[in-house]
Amino acid sequence: MELIIYGLVSSVLGFAGGFVVLWRKEQVRRIMTGLLAFAAAAFLGVSFLDLLPEAIEAVAEPHFIFIAFLVGITLFFVLERILMKYFHTHAHTHGEHEDEHTESLPALIIAGDTLHNLLDGIALAAAYIANPALGLTAALAIAAHEIPQEIGDFSVLLDRGWSSRKVLLVNILSSLATFVGIGIGYAAISQIEGWLPYLLAGVAGMFTYLGLSDIIPEVHHRAGHRHVYRAVIPFIFGLILIGWIVTQTH
């Protein structure tokens, strides 16, 4: 029961940033280019400043960690091509450009976030099993990492034309993977512990693909040739924020 409560704490606090995006939805739409730049930074920051270093630190030989990272990128590349071929919808216009190149972005974000939540749940269970007193600390650390990422997730899904209700419902369903991870971790941590670094590296690859392949090109489309600081400042701020959070919570 304690673990379930800690999972709820991490999920609810992690949603805080997303709730702000939904609460100020109209204002958010006016600064969407900056928020998308922040979202790209959040995905890349979590990948290179949190997930990948954590995976490398957990193994003696990092060679296969980088292979897992590339596998994550490849899986999302293949998944995106499949989605674009077999689940194609007519592109709709945002401003001055069509966004066909990002039509599969919501599905990729949800898939990556769900797997990330699953691993968070396993990590939370592992921390609790090691020392029950670490349960709450781990939950708060997970929530701190999730807040900027959820801001990015909610912003991108709203930009794709999703309603606030749909964005909230899908993210709640995705967060349930945390509790699945808690159950798996509590029941079988000794069997799966050796795979966790490679799974973390795979998720880092998925997030890297999202940031570089889908979100940053969308920022370039929106900013065009005119807006430099509107994109650059939120991006750099996002990287600094993720770096600071990682430093504080580790």
Say which DSSP state 133 is in: T
Mean pLDDT of the chain: 85
Q: What is the token pair recorded at 229?
A: 């600081």
Most confidently predicted of 1-15, 96-110, 158-172: 158-172
Residue 98's H or E segment, with its range, is strand 97-98
Q: What is the token pair recorded at 157?
A: 């899904």
Query: Got the DSSP string for 195-210?
Result: GHHHHHHHHHHHHHHI
Residue 97's H or E segment, with its range, is strand 97-98
Task: Give the three-class secondary structure for 61.
Answer: coil
pLDDT of residue 91: 47
- The larger pLDDT score, comparing residue 14 to residue 94, is at 14
| Least confident piece of the model among 44-53, 119-128, 138-147, 238-247 | 138-147
Mean pLDDT of 150-156: 86
Task: Give the three-class secondary structure for 93.
Answer: strand
Asked whether the predicted pLDDT for residue 93 surpasses 50, the reply is: no
